[in-house]
Amino acid sequence: MTTIAFGSDHAAFDLKETLKAAGRAEGYTILDCGPATTETVDYPDLIPPVIQAVREGATGVLLCGSGIGMSIGANRFKGIRAALCLTPTMATLARAHNDANILILGSRLISPEEAVACLHAFLSTPFSEEDRHCRRIEKLERMW
């Protein structure tokens, strides 16, 4: 079963805990890369541990208040395709068309129920492997 590596800032701590419980309930192994409390943290500090876990085969989930900072930060790493999603449809398309390996969620923009639905969609959708999507991902990788 897939491991899900979670990282959040303080603003998204509660949503991270909700998503961890949902992942456990579906039988996933959970890796919490922090934080352990709601004390203020700098979101960039939580990105590298999740990136490392993704490089080791985990699926990543990063959360902050808007999701924007985590998205900007995560996508600076080679081989990472982090997708900020607000709906399960976005999460499905991020996986199917972009082979996204990190789901980004903004805790101030999405309900816990919708976030759980996004997580489920992201985890249950495989990459389509259609030629056009493979070609586009290869072009993105060459930008580095």
- Mean pLDDT, 10 residues at a time, over the chain (144 residues)? 94 98 98 96 97 98 98 97 98 97 98 98 95 92 83
Give me the CATH number covering residue 122. Answer: 3.40.1400.10
Give whole-number Cα distances, 8 to 13, 60, 68, 78, in Å: 6, 11, 12, 21
133 Cβ contact partners less than 8 Å away, ≥ 6 residues apart: 96, 97, 98, 99, 127
Q: What amino acid positions are annotated as catalytic residues?
A: 64, 97
Residue positions counted in the chain: 144
Write down the pTM of the prediction: 0.96
What is the domain range of residue 59? 3-142
Q: Are 87 and 60 in contact (CB under 8 A)?
A: no
Structural domains counted in the chain:
1
